[in-house]
Amino acid sequence: MKSVLKLATAAFAALAVVAGVAFAQDASLQTLRGAQIDEPVTVVGVPKQDKKRFGRAYRHQPPLIPHAVDQYQIDTNANQCLGCHDWSNAGERNAPTLSMTHYLDRDGRQLDEIAGTRWFCNQCHVPQADAEPLVDNTFVPSFTR
């Protein structure tokens, strides 16, 4: 057993060396910002979420979330987003109300509570900061409100 383990360790070490050499030799590998992968890149200021709503880039885009979400739990029992965004709380919390599409079940019936199909908000909505894109792209928004 011991010798099998030793052999395996030796084989793994040899593999790591070979992989290491191959990796170091490939100078064509670059990061998204165009730097060599082993070259440290200075980050100039981390963009903050500034709580201002974003315009929408196309019809039916789920709006981007302008605030942090890491403190808000969503699981089968709890959804803390509703504490501010459900119609029953939004006025008081000064938050945008969920649109009525979020209260339609899959057969199109209007419900009083959020539809199950809209429970997991981050399936469709993602947090975003107002930051420069990492790589250039040619996307042109077709619609802004």
User: Does 93 participate in binding ligand HEC (rule CB under 6 A)?
Assistant: yes
HEC sequence for 86-121: CHHHHHHHCCCCCCHHHHECCCCCECCCCCHHHCCH
CA–CA dist 85, 96 (Å, integer): 6
Contact flag: residue 128 with ligand HEC (CB under 6 A) = no
Q: Does 96 bind ligand HEC (CB under 6 A)?
A: yes
| Residue of 9, 36, 88, 99 interacting with ligand HEC (CB under 6 A) | 99
87 binds ligand HEC (CB under 6 A): no
Q: How far is the CB of 88 from ligand HEC (least distance, A)?
A: 13
Q: Give, in degrees to the nearest 5, the angle at Cα 15 between 13 and 17.
A: 70
Whether the CA torsion 75, 71, 100, 144 is positive or negative: it is negative
- Cβ neighbors of 105 (< 8 A, separation 6 or more) are 111, 115, 116, 117
Q: Do 62 and 117 form a contact (C-beta atoms < 8 A)?
A: no
Considering only 76, 77, 94, 138, the residue that binds ligand HEC (CB under 6 A) is 94
Residue 49 CB, nearest approach to ligand HEC (Å): 10
Q: Which is nearer to ligand HEC, 94 or 138 (CB)?
A: 94
Q: Is 66 in the site for ligand HEC (CB under 6 A)?
A: yes
Q: Is 55 in the site for ligand HEC (CB under 6 A)?
A: no
110 is a site residue for ligand HEC (CB under 6 A): no
